[in-house]
Amino acid sequence: MASLTILSTTKPSSLLSSTLSSTSPQEFKFPAKSQRPFSSTVKFRAKPFKACAFPSNNNDNGEKDDCFSTRRSLLVCISTLPFLFGLHEFLEDLSAKALQSDTNTYMLIKEEVRKVVSKGKAAGVLRLVFHDAGTFEMDGNSGGMNGSIVYELERPENAGLKKSLKILDKAKGEVDAIQQVSWADMIAVAGAEAVSVCGGPTIPVQLGRLDSLEPDAEGKLPRESLDAPGLKQNFKRKGLSTQELVALSGAHTLGSKGFGSPFVFDNSYYKILLEKPWKSSGGMSSMIGLPSDHALVEDDECLRWIKKYADNQNMFFDDFKNAYIKLVNSGARWKSL
């Protein structure tokens, strides 16, 4: 997102065309996302069983007794129980295996990401997440976390992201050699690990996203020049609240825009926003942040959350984690069992 584009200072480099062509979503055989444990919905509706020593053809009222049919229905139900219980166990086993496969792949992705994403590279990787997922629009359910960023690297707002994608390409190659994974999943997990590497919260990421085969529409990321009302409206179209806007903006604590250490994920962003150093006449202080950052602290609703996060880092971590999960699930197309 443009309001989140301050995370990386790298310059554009050539895109690995061989990487993109070799990781077509059509080739992915990534295991489906985990399902809830199967529970049987079969219901037996046999008539109440009538006690009878030996049924006669007619009852006292001259009506045909249905004791035979009732007993026959019950016998049929009983005879099918072993099959039904077997199916239940089979589906539960299938679901458990899919869940275990997801878990193994998730741990493999995390392991390979940790090998290539250092604290110095974390800001660019996290920015990659925002620019892939940030195209989501609720109206039309378009864009979102779908790996389309691999087709959008030449856009001005994505300058510098080729290097971040190249970093992840190495890790993805190692994972694909064992279990193919989508770019959408790879980027989502990598962003969470980038936060963790720098001391931020641990963020669980569900797997199973499908990759897009084409770029998302242009002009969906919020511009750096937007004021607070414009930012809030843009995020609202993405299904994100003002609180989530402010929480996600805290990612700007990473990078080289002056919000604390560029390699530490903490709540320094909010503390420095409250100081408004850009209004100072002293040298580099005027270079801290972007217009969109400065706008947040001038808005009463945003300011309320900025103060909360400046005072309580644990609250910021919790809210950032939840907002991040929501962001990387936005617009995602999922594989099914």
Give the residue numbers annotated as catalytic, written as ranges: 131
Residue of 251, 20, 324, 249 lying closest to 154 (CA atoms): 20
- DSSP-derived secondary structure for 30-75: PPPPP-PPP-------PPPPPP-SS--SB-TTSPBP-HHHHHHHHH
3-state secondary structure of 157: helix
Helix, strand, coil shares of the chain, percent, nearest 5, are 55, 0, 40
CB 217 within 8 A of CB 136: no
Give the C-alpha separation, 185 to 132, whole Å.
11
Long-range contacts of 155-161 (CB under 8 A, 24+ apart): 155/218, 157/2, 157/5, 157/131, 157/221, 158/131, 159/11, 159/12, 160/8, 160/9, 160/10, 160/11, 160/12, 160/124, 160/127, 161/8, 161/12, 161/124, 161/127, 161/128, 161/131
User: Packing angle between helix 313-329 and helix 119-133, nearest 10 degrees?
Assistant: 50
User: How many CA atoms, within 13 angstroms, populate the side-chain half-sphere of residue 151?
Assistant: 16
Give the C-alpha separation, 9 to 121, whole Å.
10
Give the C-alpha separation, 75 to 156, whole Å.
72
